[in-house]
Amino acid sequence: MTSTGNATQVTTCRVCGGQDWQPVVSFGDLPLADSFLEPSDSYDAEPRYPLGVICCRSCRLMSLTHVVDPEVLYRTYPYTTSDSEMMTKHMQRVVEICGDRFGVTAGSFVVEIGSNTGSQLKAFQKAGIRTLGIDPALNIVEVARRRGVETLPDFFSVETAASVKEKYGAPRLILGRHVFAHIDDISGVVEGVRSMLDPDGLFAIEVPYVVDMLQRNEFDTIYHEHLSYFGVGTLATLFERHGLKIVDVERLPVHGGSILVFAGLADGTWATRPIVEELIAGERAFGLDKDGTYEQFALNFASIKEELVSLIRGLRADGKRIVGYGAPAKGNTLLNACGLGLDDLEFCSDTTEFKQGKVLPGTHIPVRAPSEVAVDEVDYYLLLAWNYSEEILKKEQAFLAKGGRFILPNPTPSVVPSQA
């Protein structure tokens, strides 16, 4: 590993130990996607780190080229789980799946790694389930505790696992929702998890599905926090190396397409459902094991960039006013990787209070509260929060009805026409 500042170059695959990497795409040096800034006269001190992806030719893990020090990324983490309608429903569904398929019901004990403000654990609590959260972000742990979700302010490790098991007993379920892709030492986490599991215990992780990302050209989901992009086959390799096996997978629509993967001890209670082999066969058919699939992804990024930039600049030349809808982390990759900036988008509107009044990392585009956006200020919204497109388009009927339009960046740039 070589280090530049607080970023370390990846040389060894965190799943299989391989070192034969296919370079996929590089976006250059970018600021952290969740590092919103106070408006300032000078942004010279804004830290930037290399952002790009490579693919392990042995196990086909897609990984970032560089890992930013987690102490820099997570100790005061601004990200809070969205309490959107879609997310609330999704979390409820996770509780149901765990209950229906694996008997995680009233009286069970559930531990969540990366529990954030505790929204998922709250949903478990409503079903009478005992919960414990573990999250390293001190500011966020405070919020969770105030909501009545007991949370340990820590990174998860073999040591944390041992002390939790001793104090609280073995959990029926250890859950990591959209956290596993953020962790460099995944072997350490899986080892810690294994040490806590009884034969009927389960480890469930929810990660963005690499097949969905590649198929729908979701290149903007690549940012410094997302170290790994997983398929089921790669996860099966990882778990096998640590005495676990995948027993079930559910595909889910959140975050551009995700998978909820359940693993148990290799010699544990749970039988493997046929869906696991079906998905692995589907990944082979899609070409996850071939260099060409990743080469195509890089080509698709280049053409989306060109199309999106020319669409937006064309509209600007016609005097149209374009505003970003949402200021998600992925939006910052999209704008910075495509070279879009203040000349293209006047501002972004976002419902998250702490982002309002700040400027986006890299582009320094200001963020405003939706309530402060006047109707005549926007001709086109660039839908940066496209993972909520259904909910947002429904909510913005009035904007569409008065002649407004939405630009969708993926799978290829398109315009949702006005309904005026």
Query: Is 67 one of the binding residues for ligand TYD (CB under 6 A)?
Result: no
Look at residues 231, 252, 212 and name the one whose alpha carbon lies nearest to residue 62.
Answer: 231
When the beta carbons of 58 and 157 are compared against Zn ion, the nearer one is 58
Residues 6+ apart with CB under 8 A from 237: 15, 16, 59
When the beta carbons of 342 and 369 are compared against ligand TYD, the nearer one is 369
Neighbours of 298 (CB within 10 A): 14
Interface residues with Zn ion (CB under 5 A) are 13, 15-16, 18, 56, 58-59, 61
CB of 345 to ligand TYD, least distance (A): 14
Query: Is 130 one of the binding residues for ligand TYD (CB under 6 A)?
Result: no
Q: Is 45 exposed, middle or buried (0-12, 13-18, 19+ CB in 10 A)?
A: exposed
Rounded Cα gap, residues 200 and 202, in angstroms: 7
Q: Which of 59, 387, 399, 413 binds ligand TYD (CB under 6 A)?
A: 387
Query: Is 391 one of the binding residues for ligand TYD (CB under 6 A)?
Result: yes
How far out from the chain centre does Cα 160 lie?
A: 24
Please choose which of ligand TYD, Zn ion, none residue 387 contacts, taking the beta carbon within 5 to 8 angstroms, the exact cut-off set by kind.
ligand TYD
Binding window for ligand TYD (CB under 6 A); candidates: 17-25, 100-108, 307-315, 326-334: 326-334
CB of 316 to Zn ion, least distance (A): 44
The string of DSSP codes covering 280-307 is HHHHHHHTTTSHHHHHHHHHHHHHHHHH
Query: Is 114 one of the binding residues for ligand TYD (CB under 6 A)?
Result: no
Quote the tokens at residue 337. 């990787």
CB of 151 to ligand TYD, least distance (A): 20
Q: Are 264 and 245 in contact (CB under 8 A)?
A: yes
Residue type, 381: Y
Look at residues 187, 203, 293 and name the one whose alpha carbon lies nearest to residue 241.
Answer: 187
Query: Is 250 one of the binding residues for ligand TYD (CB under 6 A)?
Result: no
Rounded Cα gap, residues 156 and 73, in angstroms: 15
CB of 220 to ligand TYD, least distance (A): 8
Strands 21-30 and 109-113: unpaired
Please choose which of ligand TYD, Zn ion, none residue 141 contacts, taking the beta carbon within 5 to 8 angstroms, the exact cut-off set by kind.
none
Query: Is 328 one of the binding residues for ligand TYD (CB under 6 A)?
Result: yes
Q: Which of 114, 208, 326, 413 binds ligand TYD (CB under 6 A)?
A: 326
Q: Which of 149, 244, 338, 392 binds ligand TYD (CB under 6 A)?
A: 392
Look at residues 133, 134, 122 and name the one whose alpha carbon lies nearest to residue 92.
Answer: 122
Query: Is 22 one of the binding residues for ligand TYD (CB under 6 A)?
Result: no
Query: Is 388 one of the binding residues for ligand TYD (CB under 6 A)?
Result: yes
When the beta carbons of 231 and 268 are compared against Zn ion, the nearer one is 231
Q: Are 32 and 68 in contact (CB under 8 A)?
A: yes
Residues that bind ligand TYD (CB under 6 A): 82, 84, 326-330, 350-352, 385, 387-388, 391-392, 395
